[in-house]
Structure 1
Amino acid sequence: MLKDLSMWYTSWFDTPYYHTLYKDRNHVEAKLFMDNLTQYLNLSPGEKILDLACGKGRHSIYLNSLGFNVTGVDLSENSIAYASQFENDSLQFKVHDMCKPFNDSFTAVFNLFTSFGYFDKDDDNLKTIKAIKTDLSEYGVGVIDFMNVNYVIDNLVAEETKTVDGITFDIKRYTKDNYIYKNISFEADGEQFNFTERVRAFSLADFMDLFEKAGVYLFDTFGNYSLGKFDITTSPRLILLFK
């Protein structure tokens, strides 16, 4: 049972049930996004990419298959242990706190699939942007793939039941105090579980404020994985490119 929401991600992300619930994520869409993004950035094979909060490494592995030298990092030891089986000379995985610089130089740092805004302290969000800046090479680019909070809130499904691999997940979503919450309850292996995801509802204006404080420059935004124009009402994603 998760009681303290300040570090909810360290508990929930490290369970096998998290990966069960989200096992049907669209891998085709993820590959399309990586194809479009690397082409737009004109990245060349062999260039170094940091996949920040990589989870079990699905983006890292695909980026490596395109010829890039990829380092995937995540706070979840179990996720990194799983991803490490795919390592090779140009693909490495490490346990790392994204609030801190990795202390290497990368052509691109990617933070994908709404892997931002989890922290209890606002300063940790700013520290993450500053850490990305530190890890970028002179002409490097940072990318944050976040949800479009306006679209998400307008289309929020308050209650949902989803059965995956024999486990029935009861999901409730709501907003409170500028956060978006998802409560997930289920029974598995003879136990009752209850986890709550909490993500800060960062708008484009919020990110621009963070970027100004971190000393980085926002030079482009997209609203979907096809790199369509960002629209505050209709775009499902808020994809930010900065340096």
Structure 2
Amino acid sequence: MENTKTWFGEWFNTRYYHILYKNRNNDEAKAFMQNLVSFLKLPKNNSILDLACGKGRHSIFLNTLGYPVIGADLSKNSIDYANQFANNTLKFIVQDMRKPFNIKVDAVFNMFTSFGYFDEDSDDIKVLQNIEDCLNDEGVAVIDYMNVNKVIKNLVNAEVVTRDDIEFNIKRHVTDGFITKEISLNENDETLHFQERVKAIDLEKFKHYSKQANLKIKHIFGDYNLSDFDVENSDRLILILTK
């Protein structure tokens, strides 16, 4: 399984990733999950795959709502942490999303821009094909992505963020169709460098990807309150897909 050879294999397995993003808004995330399951009218016995689940915070919350959940992530460190919360209806697995999932579920949630990591479009399409393959006939998938149009227009080129007395020096740029974040920090007299590199996938490209994966885009939203998508002003690009 591809791991340390990739930016995501390295960065997501470090403690620094979790420190930098420790202040993510959990209340907003929970409200989004509730909005989704309400809109989708998911019965409580429907199974959910939380694809790229990280340490499992959304998997855990969805499970508390009564859903059987499988959380999958490439990072073994994250899955090891999440496994302390596992129970009969909450499982966690190490999974490269480009590899077949070998399970069947009623819904797949891919949240908070956990897509577009790969150099080749064929890999992104393969992820969607794997999602299509693991869905039951009446299943539904949710892709929550950044609105690249707004992100690029408002890109902050450089900033310093302090978390737990660690200064993260962050530089951003758009190169070769990717939005890249270069992250450096100093600890114990050592300078460490990491990178986030996410493809600038707009709605038209998602439409192309989805068609290649035999998925249909049924609804498009622009924020976690499920407002209509506006290409210039929406913070998010949220897709609801079916077979």
Decide: shared fold, TM above 0.5. Answer: yes
Structure 1 counterpart of 2:236, one-letter code:
R
Which residue does the alignment assign to 1:71?
70
**Is this contact kept in 1: 2:33–2:62, CA < 8 A?**
yes
Please report how far the alpha carbon of residue 100 of structure 1 lies from its aligned counterpart in structure 2 after TM superposition: 2.0
Q: Secondary structure at the match of 2:13?
A: coil
Q: Secondary structure at the match of 2:128?
A: helix
Which residue does the alignment assign to 1:206?
205
Which residue does the alignment assign to 1:146?
145
**Is this contact kept in 2: 1:51–1:60, CA < 8 A?**
yes
Q: Secondary structure at the match of 2:98?
A: coil
Which residue does the alignment assign to 1:99?
98
Q: Secondary structure at the match of 1:17?
A: helix
Percent identity reads 52
For 1:209 and 1:122, the matched residues in 2 are separated by: 10
Please report how far the alpha carbon of residue 196 of structure 1 lies from its aligned counterpart in structure 2 after TM superposition: 1.3
**Is this contact kept in 2: 1:33–1:225, CA < 8 A?**
yes
Q: Does 1:88 pair with 2:87?
A: yes
**Is this contact kept in 2: 1:5–1:196, CA < 8 A?**
no
User: What do the CA deviations read for 1:5-64 (whole angstroms, capped 9, x no partner)?
Assistant: 971100000000000000000101100000000000001112100000000001101000
For 2:92 and 2:9, the matched residues in 1 are separated by: 17
CA separation of 1:5 and 1:171: change in aligned 2, threshold 3 A: farther
Q: Does 1:137 pair with 2:136?
A: yes
Q: TM-score, normalised by structure 2?
A: 0.96
Q: Does 1:160 pair with 2:159?
A: yes
User: What do the CA deviations read for 1:159-208 (whole angstroms, capped 9, x no partner)?
Assistant: 11110001000111110111100010101243211111100000000000
For 1:206 and 1:30, the matched residues in 2 are separated by: 26
For 2:89 and 2:59, the matched residues in 1 are separated by: 11
CA separation of 1:5 and 1:240: change in aligned 2, threshold 3 A: farther
Q: CA RMSD in A?
A: 1.3
Please report how far the alpha carbon of residue 79 of structure 1 lies from its aligned counterpart in structure 2 after TM superposition: 0.4
Please report how far the alpha carbon of residue 120 of structure 1 lies from its aligned counterpart in structure 2 after TM superposition: 2.1
Q: TM-score, normalised by structure 1?
A: 0.96
Moved more, 113-122 or 201-210: 113-122
Which residue does the alignment assign to 2:47?
48
Which residue does the alignment assign to 2:16?
17
Q: Write out the 4+ residue segments of structure 1 that deviate beyond 4 Å after TM superposition.
A: none
Structure 2 counterpart of 1:152, one-letter code:
V
Q: Which runs of 5+ in 1 are unaligned?
A: none
**Is this contact kept in 1: 2:111–2:143, CA < 8 A?**
yes
Q: Secondary structure at the match of 1:238?
A: strand
For 2:188 and 2:134, the matched residues in 1 are separated by: 42
For 2:216 and 2:146, the matched residues in 1 are separated by: 20
